[in-house]
């Protein structure tokens, strides 16, 4: 009786410690030998006490893993184009640029695989086969994120899309925690009994795959149903009451090599002796007004930054985002031409933001026989892809707040805009 009690305590303790470790990850953004050893120790303990896990513990691990895989697959599948960008980062990092055209395909498959495995775990469909597939997937992801943590080939693996951003070390730690639960499940896979007939299991599996791929496609041809980025509708793009920006200046002593940092203008620039012995080294800017995810810089063709001229317009105004004119929808620009004409006639600003170079912009306009005088500006393609998942896409802004966003497949006509948004002017 006492031995059985100890087994129960040990098994649940292993699972609860793993869950607690997942919470602790938020405090370890970078490499921590002690935390890493703590996680590896948990994996060793699972092997050492592999016989202590009761059916209830295996069920708890299965459900926790299922929910995690469902969440991870969903938050990436709701934005398949965003996941494709992360896949492209890996192709570039590993020197397989020739696969770039297939990034969206891999996005659909990987997202579906995660969500479907989560669904199969929850529903207990093909439990033994599912256990194998989950183990193989986690081995692959754990090795990949170990390389990410050690070598930083990509800044963010995108494991939870834009819903939850983690450092590469946090992502690796997270996978080690998941491996603990996966091993609890896998080691005891023979105790898992199917609850459906084989034909029903295959039907459920195929249905999950078909439904989720269809869900991803809807989010691809339209905008994501859920937007986790800084440019989501309703978000403010700059603080309403900005705080002064701090400038820190570093100076180096010419004689001793000592480096000191000063908060400008609190440095002894009036001291002749100090000026003679110290030389400027670098400047650091601490901008408390910077909103994470808002990295837009609008550059005109003279090379001037005109971001605030447009971002802070108090009236309604429009951004057309077309990060690459060589792959944009030419038909959509016919609609944009009409929108621009109406906006200009009614005194509203409408500009196109693109990363395409000026000479290629002109080539695009001539090729598509577009003669309207809409103003084009340059911006970084990554910033543009963050703004909206459409090429082109339309964003309506007022006083620095994102009012509405449209995919080019669903551009509004001017009457619709006037009735819904502009009639209060």
Q: What tens digit of pLDDT does each residue of 337-348 get?
A: 889 999 888 889
pLDDT at 113: 94
Q: How confident is residue 2, by pLDDT bands cut at 50, 70 and 90?
A: low
Q: d(Cα 351, Cα 362) in Å, to the nearest integer?
A: 15
Asked whether residue 135 carries a pLDDT value surpassing 90, the answer given is yes
Q: Which whole number is the average pLDDT over 189-218? A: 91
Q: What is the DSSP letter of 305?
A: B
pLDDT at 164: 84
Asked whether residue 291 carries a pLDDT value surpassing 80, the answer given is no
> Is residue 288 helix, strand or coil?
coil
Asked whether residue 6 carries a pLDDT value surpassing 90, the answer given is no
Asked whether residue 139 carries a pLDDT value surpassing 80, the answer given is yes
What's the mean per-residue pLDDT of the chain?
Answer: 89
Give the long-range contacts of residues 193-199, CB within 8 A, separation 24 or more.
193/127, 194/124, 194/125, 194/126, 194/127, 195/124, 196/123, 196/125
The closest alpha carbon to 132, from 173, 185, 96, belongs to 185
Asked whether residue 189 carries a pLDDT value surpassing 60, the answer given is yes
pLDDT at 296: 86
Q: What is the DSSP letter of 232?
A: S
Q: Which residues pair with 378 in a beta bridge?
A: 299, 354
The predicted-structure confidence for 72-109, as pLDDT tens digits, reads as follows 999 999 999 999 999 999 999 888 889 899 999 999 99
Q: How confident is residue 303, by pLDDT bands cut at 50, 70 and 90?
A: confident
pLDDT at 34: 95
The predicted-structure confidence for 369-398, as pLDDT tens digits, reads as follows 776 678 899 999 999 999 999 999 999 999
Size of the chain, expressed as the number of residues it contains? 425
pLDDT at 136: 96
Asked whether residue 222 carries a pLDDT value surpassing 70, the answer given is yes
Q: How confident is residue 424, by pLDDT bands cut at 50, 70 and 90?
A: low
* Centroid of chain to Cα 92: 17
Which is it for strands 246-253 and 316-321: parallel, antiparallel or unpaired?
A: unpaired
Helices and strands (DSSP H and E) totals, the chain: 14, 8
- Tokens standing for residue 90: 């890996």
Q: d(Cα 355, Cα 385) in Å, to the nearest integer?
A: 10
pLDDT at 372: 64
Q: d(Cα 359, Cα 364) in Å, to the nearest integer?
A: 9
Asked whether residue 304 carries a pLDDT value surpassing 90, the answer given is no
Q: d(Cα 311, Cα 239) in Å, to the nearest integer?
A: 12
- Tokens standing for residue 424: 């209060």
Q: d(Cα 408, Cα 153) in Å, to the nearest integer?
A: 33
Lowest mean pLDDT among 169-178, 263-272, 301-310, 328-337: 263-272
Q: Which whole number is the average pLDDT over 29-53? A: 93
Return the percentage of the chain with pLDDT > 90, whole number. Answer: 53
Please give the CATH number for the structural domain made up of 307-424: 3.40.30.10
Q: What are phi and psi of 229, to 5 degrees?
A: -95, 170
Element holding 260 (H helix, E strand):
strand 259-263
Cis peptide before 265 (omega within 30 of 0): yes
pLDDT at 394: 96
Q: How many CB atoms lie within 10 A of CB 158?
A: 25
């Amino acid at each position: 009786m006492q031995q059985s009690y100890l087994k129960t305590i040990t098994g649940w303790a292993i699972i609860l410690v793993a869950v607690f470790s997942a919470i602790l990850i938020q405090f370890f953004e970078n490499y921590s030998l002690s935390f890493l050893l703590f996680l590896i120790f948990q994996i060793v303990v699972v092997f050492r006490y592999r016989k202590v896990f009761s059916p209830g513990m295996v069920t708890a691990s299965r459900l926790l893993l299922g929910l995690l895989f469902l969440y991870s697959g969903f938050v990436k599948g709701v934005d398949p184009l965003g996941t494709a960008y992360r896949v492209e980062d890996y192709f570039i990092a590993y020197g397989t640029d020739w696969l770039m055209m297939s990034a969206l395909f891999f996005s659909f498959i990987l997202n579906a695989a995660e969500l479907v495995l989560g669904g199969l775990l929850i529903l207990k469909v093909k439990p033994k086969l599912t256990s194998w597939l989950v183990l193989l997937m986690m081995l692959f992801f754990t090795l990949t994120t170990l390389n990410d943590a050690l070598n930083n080939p990509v800044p963010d693996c995108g494991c939870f899309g834009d819903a939850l951003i983690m450092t590469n070390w946090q992502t690796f730690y997270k996978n080690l925690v998941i491996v603990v639960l996966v091993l609890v499940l896998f080691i005891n896979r023979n105790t898992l009994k199917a609850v459906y007939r084989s034909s029903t299991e295959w039907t459920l599996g195929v249905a999950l795959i078909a439904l989720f791929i269809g869900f991803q496609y809807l989010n691809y041809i339209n905008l994501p149903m859920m937007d986790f980025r800084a440019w989501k509708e309703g978000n403010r793009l700059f603080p309403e009451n900005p705080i002064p920006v701090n400038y820190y200046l570093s100076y180096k002593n010419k004689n001793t090599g000592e480096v000191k940092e000063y908060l400008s203008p609190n440095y002894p620039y009036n001291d002749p002796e100090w000026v003679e012995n110290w030389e400027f080294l670098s400047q650091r800017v601490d901008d408390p007004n910077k909103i994470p995810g808002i990295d837009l810089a609008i550059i005109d063709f003279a090379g001037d930054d005109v971001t605030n001229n447009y971002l802070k317009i108090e009236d309604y105004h429009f951004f057309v985002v077309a990060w690459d004119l060589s792959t944009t929808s030419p038909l959509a620009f016919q609609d944009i031409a009409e929108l621009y004409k109406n906006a200009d006639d009614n005194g509203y600003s409408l500009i196109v933001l693109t990363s395409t170079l000026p000479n290629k912009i002109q080539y695009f306009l001539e090729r598509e026989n577009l003669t309207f005088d809409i103003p084009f500006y340059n911006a970084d393609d990554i910033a543009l892809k963050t703004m909206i998942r459409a090429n082109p896409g339309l964003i309506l802004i007022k006083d620095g707040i994102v009012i509405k966003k449209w995919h080019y497949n669903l551009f509004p006509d001017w009457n619709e805009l006037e009735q819904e948004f502009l009639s209060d002017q």
